[in-house]
Structure 1
Amino acid sequence: MPNRLANETSPYLLQHKDNPVDWYPWGEEALSAARLLDKPILLSIGYSSCHWCHVMAHESFENESIAAVMNTGFVNIKVDREELPDVDSIYMTAVQAMTGSGGWPLTVFITPDGQPFYGGTYFPPEDRPNMAGFPRVLTAVADAYATKRSELLENSQQVVNAIREQSTPQKNDGTVDESLIFGSFTHLAGNADQENGGSQGAPKFPQPMVYELLLRYWKRTGSSQVLDIVNLTLEKMAHGGIYDQIGGGFARYSVDDAWLVPHFEKMLYDNAQLVSLYLHAYQATKKPLYRRIVEETLEYVTREMTHAAGGFYSASDADSEGVEGKFFVWTPAEIDEVLEPSDAELAKAYWGVSEEGNFEGSNILHLPISQAEFLSRSGQEPLELLADIERVREILLEARSKRIAPGIDDKILVSWNSLMLKAFAEAGAVFENPEWVDIAQKNARLLLDQVRDSEGRLLHTWKATSATEGDARLLGYLDDHAYLIEALLVLYEATFDFSYIDEARALADQMIERFWDKDWEVFYDTSLEHSKLLVRPRDVLDNAVPSGGAVAALALQRLGVITGQTDYAAKAEASMKALIPHMEQAPSAVTSWLTAVDFLRSNSQEVVLIGDAADPVIADMKRELRSSFAPNTVLAGSNGDASEDAASPLLASREQVNGKATAFVCENYACKLPVTSVAEMVELLS
């Protein structure tokens, strides 16, 4: 008989609905039951594409005897960390404080009032060397809670105090200046792997926020050393097994230091950020490889990770048929089976396929040498060979599509969707692909129209119930608001549809009203209406995604430029001050905050284009503006003369010169004389 999780929408929770464990979702019902029964809570946190979460579920949560021990001694709560990042953040911090490490599955024992007193990550179903089995842990914890509760809670209080201290803002009267950006370079460059790119050691994570900051540093200084670090990392990743050479898109990380062997799950947030990073690197370098990665990754998202209503799915699993990576790897015989002999030899040579393999007897496809070197060695006409490689890739993709695919976590998260919305919008504008811009607009309309509650508040998650409708749940977090504001600003620049600015402004006002603390001058991760936990979470460090506070700081500055509302920028700068110690001492942990500093302390320009979108001169002006990496330029525009009462001071009273397409190049709203040609615009920009 299904347990209470059968009523949830999270694919991860639904995976556990038939467990013999009497699971509760997080909420007052479970907490009240624990208080009523005077039992401790066993809190289990994971996510759908987590390999070891599946292992522990199969070994322990599907085991009748272990489930009986859990049901007798505990109130059991299962949480999808992607749905409730605030709960995950607090209890991950607790386990790290208690054990020195963390990860998922996260297993935490807490009191009915939420106080953690013991925890860990994965526990095996029986005792193993240096690792107690889960039944032993359950029995010991239940016994200690019954007989030594006061001692447990006294020790636990130290952990709670540490969590509260971490979430408490620190006042700082320092100055947010550009020396913080220059100081960060020594830390970032010192940790760079000069052979394989990325950070030194293994496992290797993509860290797109680090390389976005390095690109900005290069833009400021022209340092070839910085650009070399970025190029090495992006090229090695694109050539490695962490990139799906056949289907496009990146895996979560590589277990080795050469980007070869991935942990095969693909996360929406990684791919969104990496599309943006490769796009910006293309603007900076014009390397065809980077454009190809952007195109193939967006093709993958469109093909496999997009719902008919316009939402983007959260993740795909590492496993298929119970085997990690099975869907993605190839033997020589499998390649021979689907390709003609000459094509098979090309595929094996290009993607490094061998009889011995590089992963458990099979092959993770990768590029042992760069495409340019492969072309030069072949002696074949390069364009013909490139066409052959692409044709072979499509054949292999079609053959692979007949395999049993990894599972898809099909919940739609506003924060992660906003990252991908931004990627589609910006790539569509730069590469003049209207289909990508349309995809971005469809996604924006879904988030703005359907992922709301009856009071108009942004929610966090949406799960389709039909081709067009869905079930939206959970109050939106700071990340949801900040990421969506930033995405809407990018979408405005791609379309010049001012309604996106209106939506961004309304969201910003809500975000300030509900997440801003006027005494500390910081944003919290949860709103005033969220359920109260041990502390009000405020995670300022970048993790797999950028800090919500940092994205808010950047988005509010850009929104302030377009709307002329100085309060937005003032709050952004105030919030940055609390992060000065982190920027000075651990810049690699706060690179998205340093990105916000870069905008604050740049000689940013505003460019306003007035004219019909179909005018070829306007098209050429847009093309020129988007051809280079200019992260601190704000672009605005209007089709025809802007009205006298335009909502943006950038647009107010802007008129075409002699009926021609016209560009205004401004700084702090002080504009130079309007020009009507691309050449004149370029001269003003430089």
Structure 2
Amino acid sequence: MNHLATALSPYLQQHAGNPVDWREWGEDALAEAKRRDLPLFISIGYAACHWCHVMAHESFEDEEVAALVNEFTIPVKVDREERPDIDAVYMQATIAITGQGGWPMTVFAAPDGTPFFAGTYFPREHFIRLVNAVGTAWATQRTELLSQGRAIVQACAAAGPDLADVSDSCPVDGPCPAGAPVEASILDAAARQIHGSFDPVNGGFGGAPKFPTAPALAFLLRHHERTGDARSLDIADHTAERMARGGIYDQLGGGYARYSVDAEWIVPHFEKMLYDNALLLGLHTELDRLTGKAIHARVADETARFVVDALGTAEGGFAAALDADTDGVEGATYVWTPAQLTEVLGADDAAWAAELFTVTEEGTFEHGTSVLQLPADPDGSAAAQRFADIRRRLTAARDLRPQPARDDKVVAAWTALAVTALTAYAAHRAQPWADVAADRAARLLADVHTVDGRLRRVSRDGRAGTAQGVLEDHAAVASAYLARHAADPDGGWLPRAKELLDLVDRHFTTGDGGFHDTADDAETLVHRPTDPTDGPTPSGWALAAQAYAEYAGVTGDPYYRDAAYRALAVAEPVLRKHPRFAGGLGVAAETMR
């Protein structure tokens, strides 16, 4: 047994029985590396990650591999969802070294954490050679390794975002101009740039693999509402419908998978993440409001139910994810063959369902299996009733299959995104159960995640973890509290939002209007991450600007309005040059127009 048995993270606990002598990240691990004069082997992943499971099975459960790792390194396991700060630092280094990133992330570093080599997944034999090579190089070429590591860190620290200097027009200690922080022409140009990368057939942007890119779609909806631009609405509408009809959306149980491995949304990477479903619930809710299309209402209903029923925890929060694998097989819970349909439905209904769901003998996935799609709704009331009955029977049969594991830690930022989305959904669709679920989750954030006046990143089983909240946690939770204030003005949510925004102001600002991703009193890493660009969720920078703007809108307080203005004006070059990856900034900028 290694040192992970008492870890809060389900991902770390997955590795507690490995022969690798894993430690959690922290002072003890770094001190042990210094004491034994060995490099750190830092392995970063998350519980729902398919290739993390593969590398664990091939290498970390193997006695021979573990013996080498334990001899030549101090091995450290990191849950990227629990410690996004560590993940961000070493992901930047991995990309600098290899030109690409992903998980599992494999990093070798000096005892002080300075990385000198990094990669992602390595097959067993390759990994054995790598560990042996690191051990030899540490013994015989340490000076070169340390020099290389310092160069990597310096390059990463210097590779900051391209920002504007607004110290004259909007000084930190003075009022900002009365107008909007980003000119309408820049927002219009950003929308046109996003239009230019749109896939008009399949929806979405670019080719395979294809991601939902929810922040960019949210920006297009805000742009449409300000300008009436039909193109922005059409792109968001078409993309959302194509995703909802593809295999990336669970046609039986509701909820979205992480991404599609193809450009047509047919075959997903099967893990289901809370953050994707929260953001896409918000997208379908808005599209239902703007278009009135039945598909958006249906998918909003089903996604809200998925979040609450499948991801809801006993304490009132929302679990981080469902695994990509079932019993070590990716997608096993979800895929079907024609014969399996026949076994459940009988020949006539199975043939009809196979045509509707595009289940073929050849299959659309592996080993002749198909991922369910729904290219078109059944036509007519009788067909709709038959379809509803078939879905019910297939769901009941699927529920008897082995199910994917659930990562039931509660992540503050992601739960906050779900609170905001469920609150808006409940109001728009008149669904009080969703509002109750949103309120319970917000109260968990207030009561469990807030410890000694500071926000903790994760909890599990009602117990807060030790990791401090990062920028995205503070900002997303502040916006969630503001959403709850709109739904329940007497619930005490407004002062809670202010407390978090004041923490952001004191601990995360850069001094020129921008934000660091970690607090000034957080653990010191090899460099302090700062990134205004989006991942699958809006950046912490964008969320903070949005929360400041929302709070100013509710209270009329010019201090917070100026803070939002300054943050967006400073980051305007990012939005102008990389709009598809700055949709969160675009949403906040549209809010202030």
Question: TM-score scaled to structure 2, two decimals?
Answer: 0.95
Q: Percent of pairs identical after alignment?
A: 42
Equivalent position of 2:552 in the other structure: 560
Tell me if structure 2 keeps the 8 A contact 1:450–1:472. no
Farther-moved stretch of structure 1 (40-49 vs 293-302): 293-302
Q: How far apart are the structure 1 equivalents of 2:433 and 2:23?
A: 43
Which of 527, 535, 549 in structure 2 is aligned with 1:543?
Answer: 535
Give the C-alpha shift of residue 597 in structure 1: 1.0
Farther-moved stretch of structure 1 (283-292 vs 491-500): 491-500
Which of 281, 286, 310 in structure 2 is aligned with 1:280?
Answer: 286
Pick closer, same or farther for the CA change 1:218–1:7 going to 2, 3 Å: same
Tell me if structure 1 keeps the 8 A contact 2:545–2:564. yes
Pick closer, same or farther for the CA change 1:200–1:528 going to 2, 3 Å: closer
RMSD: 1.5
Give the C-alpha shift of residue 498 in structure 1: 4.9
Give the C-alpha shift of residue 579 in structure 1: 1.3
Equivalent position of 1:365 in the other structure: 372
- What SS is found at the alignment partner of 1:363? coil
Q: How far apart are the structure 1 equivalents of 2:228 and 2:105?
A: 44
Equivalent position of 1:528 in the other structure: 520
Equivalent position of 1:213 in the other structure: 219
Query: Structure 1: which amino acid aligns with 2:371?
Result: I
Q: How far apart are the structure 1 equivalents of 2:191 and 2:157?
A: 31
Q: How far apart are the structure 2 equivalents of 1:220 and 1:205?
A: 26
Select the structure with the greater relative contact order (CA < 8 A; seq sep ≥ 6).
2
- What SS is found at the alignment partner of 1:405? coil
Q: How far apart are the structure 2 equivalents of 1:169 and 1:81?
A: 26
Query: Structure 2: which amino acid aligns with 1:321?
Result: D
Equivalent position of 2:267 in the other structure: 261
Equivalent position of 1:54 in the other structure: 53
Which of 322, 325, 348 in structure 1 is aligned with 2:331?
Answer: 325
Which of 116, 132, 157 in structure 1 is aligned with 2:150?
Answer: 157
Tell me if structure 2 keeps the 8 A contact 1:169–1:520. no
- Find out whether 1:289 has 2:289 as its counterpart: no
Q: How far apart are the structure 2 equivalents of 1:446 and 1:391?
A: 37
Tell me if structure 1 keeps the 8 A contact 2:532–2:574. no
Equivalent position of 2:460 in the other structure: 463
Q: How far apart are the structure 2 equivalents of 1:28 and 1:238?
A: 46
Pick closer, same or farther for the CA change 1:473–1:388 going to 2, 3 Å: farther
Which of 170, 177, 193 in structure 1 is aligned with 2:199?
Answer: 193
User: What are the Cα deviations for residues 633-676 of structure 1, in whole angstroms up to 9, with x where unaligned?
Assistant: xxxxxxxxxxxxxxxxxxxxxxxxxxxxxxxxxxxxxxxxxxxx
Query: Structure 1: which amino acid aligns with 2:209?
Result: P
Query: Structure 2: which amino acid aligns with 1:534?
Result: V
Which of 478, 482, 490 in structure 2 is aligned with 1:497?
Answer: 490
Query: Structure 2: which amino acid aligns with 1:560?
Result: A
Q: 1:39-438, aligned counterparts within 5 Å? A: 39-126=38-125, 133-167=126-160, 170-173=163-166, 176-360=182-366, 361-368=368-375, 370-371=376-377, 374-375=378-379, 382-438=380-436
Runs of 4+ in 1 over 6 A off after TM superposition: none
Equivalent position of 2:172 in the other structure: none
Query: Structure 2: which amino acid aligns with 1:402?
Result: L
- What SS is found at the alignment partner of 2:43? strand
Q: Over alpha carbons, which structure has the higher Rg? A: 1
Equivalent position of 1:600 in the other structure: 592
User: What are the Cα deviations for residues 163-206 of structure 1, in whole angstroms up to 9, with x where unaligned?
Assistant: 11134784523863222201102210111101111012111100
Query: Structure 1: which amino acid aligns with 2:483?
Result: V
Equivalent position of 1:130 in the other structure: none
Q: How far apart are the structure 1 equivalents of 2:556 and 2:226?
A: 26
- What SS is found at the alignment partner of 1:5? coil
Equivalent position of 2:574 in the other structure: 582
Q: How far apart are the structure 2 equivalents of 1:321 and 1:153?
A: 41
Q: How far apart are the structure 1 equivalents of 2:508 and 2:231?
A: 40
Give the C-alpha shift of residue 494 in structure 1: 2.4
Pick closer, same or farther for the CA change 1:170–1:216 going to 2, 3 Å: closer
- What SS is found at the alignment partner of 1:45? strand
User: What are the Cα deviations for residues 515-538 of structure 1, in whole angstroms up to 9, with x where unaligned?
Assistant: 223x22222111122100111211
Give the C-alpha shift of residue 91 in structure 1: 0.6
Q: How far apart are the structure 2 equivalents of 1:593 and 1:117?
A: 33
Query: Structure 1: which amino acid aligns with 2:47?
Result: S
Which of 441, 447, 450 in structure 2 is aligned with 1:449?
Answer: 447
User: What are the Cα deviations for residues 490-548 of structure 1, in whole angstroms up to 9, with x where unaligned?
Assistant: 2222233351112111221222122223x222221111221001112112110011101
Equivalent position of 1:668 in the other structure: none
Query: Structure 2: which amino acid aligns with 1:161?
Result: Q
Give the C-alpha shift of residue 302 in structure 1: 2.1
Farther-moved stretch of structure 1 (505-514 vs 443-452): 505-514
Query: Structure 1: which amino acid aligns with 2:554?
Result: I
Give the C-alpha shift of residue 69 in structure 1: 0.8
- What SS is found at the alignment partner of 1:107? strand
Q: How far apart are the structure 1 equivalents of 2:163 and 2:336?
A: 53
Farther-moved stretch of structure 1 (338-347 vs 103-112): 338-347
Number of residue equivalences: 579
Query: Structure 2: which amino acid aligns with 1:394?
Result: R
Tell me if structure 2 keeps the 8 A contact 1:171–1:520. no
Q: How far apart are the structure 1 equivalents of 2:161 and 2:291?
A: 42
- What SS is found at the alignment partner of 2:332? coil
Query: Structure 1: which amino acid aligns with 2:412?
Result: V
Q: How far apart are the structure 2 equivalents of 1:351 and 1:108?
A: 43
- What SS is found at the alignment partner of 2:521? coil
Farther-moved stretch of structure 1 (351-360 vs 341-350): 341-350
Give the C-alpha shift of residue 331 in structure 1: 1.4
Gaps of 5+ in 1: 127-132, 376-381, 602-686
Question: TM-score scaled to structure 1, two decimals?
Answer: 0.82
Tell me if structure 1 keeps the 8 A contact 2:215–2:536. no
Pick closer, same or farther for the CA change 1:34–1:192 going to 2, 3 Å: same
- What SS is found at the alignment partner of 1:43? strand
Tell me if structure 2 keeps the 8 A contact 1:331–1:353. yes
Query: Structure 1: which amino acid aligns with 2:317?
Result: G
Tell me if structure 2 keeps the 8 A contact 1:198–1:204. yes
Q: How far apart are the structure 2 equivalents of 1:172 and 1:93?
A: 25
- Find out whether 1:570 has 2:562 as its counterpart: yes
Tell me if structure 2 keeps the 8 A contact 1:180–1:594. no
Tell me if structure 2 keeps the 8 A contact 1:169–1:578. no
Query: Structure 1: which amino acid aligns with 2:127?
Result: F
Equivalent position of 1:608 in the other structure: none
Farther-moved stretch of structure 1 (172-181 vs 578-587): 172-181
Q: How far apart are the structure 2 equivalents of 1:425 and 1:566?
A: 26
- What SS is found at the alignment partner of 1:44? strand
Query: Structure 2: which amino acid aligns with 1:507?
Result: L
Tell me if structure 2 keeps the 8 A contact 1:167–1:535. no
Pick closer, same or farther for the CA change 1:394–1:496 going to 2, 3 Å: farther
Equivalent position of 1:511 in the other structure: 504
User: What are the Cα deviations for residues 75-99 of structure 1, in whole angstroms up to 9, with x where unaligned?
Assistant: 1111000000000101110011111
